[in-house]
Structure 1
Amino acid sequence: MNQTLDILIFGAHPDDAEIGMGGTIYKHILEGYRIGICDLTFAEMSSNGDVKTRQEEAMAANEVLKLTARSNLGLPDRGLQLNKEQIDKITIEIRKYQPKVVFAPYWIDRHPDHIMCSKMVDEAIFNAKLRNYLPQYESWKVERNYYYFINDIQEADLMVDVSSFYEQKRNALQAYRSQFQNVGFAKNVVDTPLNQGYLENVEARDRLLGQKSNVSYAEGFITKSPYLVELF
């Protein structure tokens, strides 16, 4: 069975990738790209929703976006560390799927797990290409890697027009009801930044990015090696 992917996206938690680049994911899938998401944790420290609920929501988002693959490394939520054991799991994931392009969260963000995820993926991309590192797994060199925004945003190096695909992004994010709804979902819901108009803020951000290029909605990305593309 062919497991290779064109694009592999890492997030610290289920919903990170959809927040940052749900429209870009769907746009590329419609162009025939094989795309997967790897969540590092089950987000077990979330104030709302348990692990079972979060996984059900992630699977619902998968159906909306038509992902080729989704995995979860089961690393500890709020316990991500730059240690060999955890980074090796990411390295093996990269070698398993052999993606041409890898995405990770932007390294500046108010959530420490997003920052740590970004650093861990950088380390794993480097390790994955070393033939004598974990030699039982075939080495793999990622061609390009980019960083997507979750909470904090900087001036983007490049943007993708997602105007025609924004409804799919909305639907994918709305699948995470336990995170983004504060009424009508469950008892004892805790007020958090996520259920206090967060999705409206994400949409406003994407609309503002779009205005810079005279389109309705855009998603922005950072690259350490500037590269202009129509499709990744």
Structure 2
Amino acid sequence: MSPIDVLAVGAHPDDAEIGMGGTLAKLADQGYRTALICLTKAELSSNGTVEERQKEAANAAKVLGAERMQLAFPDRQLSVYRPDCIAALVKVVREYRPKIVFAPNKEDRHPDHGHCSEIVKEAVFSAGIRRYLPESGTAAYRPTALYYYQINGVIKPDFVVDISGYVEQKRKALSCYKSQFNKNEQSAATPLNTGYLQAVEGRERLLGNEAGVTYAEGFLSDRPLLMSNLIGE
């Protein structure tokens, strides 16, 4: 398999699209090879079927110019299958050798997002250990950086990415998830179909305003970010 530049990991289809859809679209437009991977198929979601969600996820990835991979660990049981999840992600990281990996922010109202965050952090670290899973046949490799995107709520980010020119593309990608964000007579009321997308866009408008742009997505980093050019000339 040829290497990718960016790997965005989510617990469910739509996680990364919510948190960093604009950034993924921007990176793809800049010529970087990007990929999404989901740990579960979100089979316990209140609305939509697994089959519908898979089609929606494939369409959303296409809109963002990203490749897509799907694992099939049981929804709401990531903590139970934690060692297996870590091992599976280690194999993906070693095989595709992404420069940067993104995971959900650990501090999130949905427990799966927090579990996913911890699993990704361990996998990124373990992927660089030569004696971890030597039987996998893949050489040890550790990405340059691991960053965290926000799904629910508002955080004070360590850095933001200007997505002003890509917000429409993000809207289009999220609109693919009709089973999750559109409410009809058959669907159950959830946080996702009661003004959720408007709240996400409002958050990005706020972050953009604080950074001096129209829209921005915020990210966290475990390590200090090195500024190579303070003047910016």
**1:217 equivalent among 215, 218, 225:** 215
Cα distance, 1:91 vs structure 2: 1.0
Deviation per residue, 1:125-150 (Å, 9 max, x gap)? 11100111111221111111100000
Cα distance, 1:228 vs structure 2: 5.7
What TM-score do you get using the length of structure 1 for normalisation?
0.94
Does structure 2 retain, via aligned residues, the 8 Å contact 1:99–1:142? yes
Corresponding position: 1:12 with 2:29: no
Question: 2:231 maps to what in 1?
Answer: none
Does structure 2 retain, via aligned residues, the 8 Å contact 1:102–1:145? yes
How many residues were matched structurally?
225
Unpaired stretches in structure 2, ≥5 consecutive residues: 229-233
State the alpha-carbon separation in 2 of the partners of residues 83 and 13 from structure 1: 15
Does structure 2 retain, via aligned residues, the 8 Å contact 1:158–1:228? no
Does structure 1 retain, via aligned residues, the 8 Å contact 2:36–2:61? no
Does structure 2 retain, via aligned residues, the 8 Å contact 1:80–1:117? yes
Question: 2:116 maps to what in 1?
Answer: 117
Question: 1:71 maps to what in 2?
Answer: 69
Alignment of 1:142-181 (within 5 A): 142-181=143-182
Question: 1:196 maps to what in 2?
Answer: 194
Cα distance, 1:152 vs structure 2: 2.4
User: Aligned with 1:23: secondary structure?
Assistant: helix
Deviation per residue, 1:43-91 (Å, 9 max, x gap)? 0000000100000000110121111x21111011101026322210111
User: Aligned with 2:72: secondary structure?
Assistant: strand
Q: Residues 165, 229 of structure 1: CA spacing in aligned structure 2 closer, same or farther, 3 A cutoff?
A: farther
Does structure 2 retain, via aligned residues, the 8 Å contact 1:108–1:152? no
Does structure 2 retain, via aligned residues, the 8 Å contact 1:131–1:138? yes
User: Aligned with 1:41: secondary structure?
Assistant: coil
State the alpha-carbon separation in 2 of the partners of residues 152 and 229 from structure 1: 28
Q: Residues 209, 130 of structure 1: CA spacing in aligned structure 2 closer, same or farther, 3 A cutoff?
A: same
RMSD: 1.4
User: Aligned with 2:70: secondary structure?
Assistant: strand
What stretches of structure 1 move > 4 A for 4+ residues in a row? none
Q: Aligned letter for 1:97? A: Y
Does structure 1 retain, via aligned residues, the 8 Å contact 2:158–2:218? yes
State the alpha-carbon separation in 1 of the partners of residues 48 and 133 from structure 2: 36
Cα distance, 1:188 vs structure 2: 2.0
Question: Share of identical aligned residues, percent?
Answer: 48
Question: 1:92 maps to what in 2?
Answer: 91
Q: Aligned letter for 2:97? A: Q
State the alpha-carbon separation in 1 of the partners of residues 85 and 27 from structure 2: 29
